[in-house]
Amino acid sequence: MSPAPRKRRVAILFGGRSAEHEVSVVSAGSVIRALDPERYEAVPIGITREGTWHLMAAPPALVPGSGRLPGVAEGSGIAVELAREGDETALVSAEGLREPIDVVFPILHGPYGEDGTVQGMLELAGIPYVGAGVLASAVGMDKAVQKVLFRAAGLPVVEHEVVHERDWEEDREAVEARAGHLGYPIFAKPATLGSSVGITKVGEPGRLVAALELAFRYAGKALLERAVEGAREIECAVLGNDDPVASLPGEIVPGGEFYDYRAKYLDEEGTRLIVPADLPEEVVEEVQRMAVAAFRAIDCSGMARVDFFFREPRDLILNEINTIPGFTSVSMYPKMWEASGLPYPELIDRLVELAVERHQRDAKRGTALDERT
């Protein structure tokens, strides 16, 4: 009788130095619960807001009815660091603990996790990781830069203005004039953050100052976007490396004025998630086509959620792409794949396989000069 195959050890990174810290913690708990225990051994790694790594038994749990999401505190577990020795990557502690890992699944939303920083570190460590590479992660985090690439790929985007904090400090009147050109209402948001953190819907010029000041609390660059009035919010999940495929789309019906942080993660009753979205077949096909085109435009791999605005009959506008979408129990990415015939556990399994596949492909690249060139 042959021995059972060794379980693949998957390090789940969560928390981090971002305003989306708590969302990451909740997502990580969902991912760990979905991992097949017969095939994988989860290694939960909580990252504090200060950036220290802790090996934990499990992510902190959401307390129902508390109105707050959990976070990773100092002393939550054993302090560890990533180390590479020979062909093995492991998490090590000062006390001599050594935890080998095979794959990393970063569930880190926002800066210092979703923006290419952690991905670059993992590339240097030579370990497979789930999701987009360094370039796509960086571009996917920057809502202003991704729109440049979308336009270059022939994809329609929301009319917008990019505002740097220094421009706002030096000439507010010029920025206000640019906002006026867009017309009100507009949305003011940090250009390099997600989960609707720091976003304000600005209905009149007098509220622009407060909205931009809030956005600049989280990033040095802000985006002003014309509100697409009367539009439906449509999302589509993409999965794959060289041959990405798109899920059936879903629709967000916010209970409030827009799909804000509370609606996404704390108020499950106030927002309706319709999966699959009730759309004509030709619109579904166009959403899927554009979602894959956006995925390829930023050179993405692994996974992404692509968000759209849709107005009848066929006015479809690309909003943004998210390279590490939410994985909580109410998140759209896993829900859309489930509606498309790929249950949550199989989705996680596929993401891990895609990570290993890409790593093995990239490992074949030459690192020394070929004297024949």
Residues that are catalytic: 20, 195, 265, 305, 307, 320, 322, 326
Q: State how far the alpha carbon of 245 is from the alpha carbons of 181, 304, 305, in Å.
A: 38, 11, 12
Partners of 252 in the beta sheet?
233, 273
Radius of gyration over every alpha carbon of the chain, rounded to an integer in angstroms: 21
Angle at 302 between CA 298 and CA 303, to 5 degrees: 75
State the Cα–Cα distance between residues 9 and 45, nearest whole angstrom: 12
Helices 332-339 and 344-363: crossing angle in degrees, nearest 10, is 100
> 162, 150, 190, 200: which is closest to 321 by C-alpha?
150
Token pair, residue 202, equals 């600005």
Sequence-ordered list of residues with C-beta below 8 angstroms from that of 215, at least 6 positions apart, any chain: 188, 189, 190, 198, 199, 200, 222, 223
Q: What would the two tokens of residue 236 be? A: 């589509």
Cβ proximity of 183 and 226 under 8 Å = yes
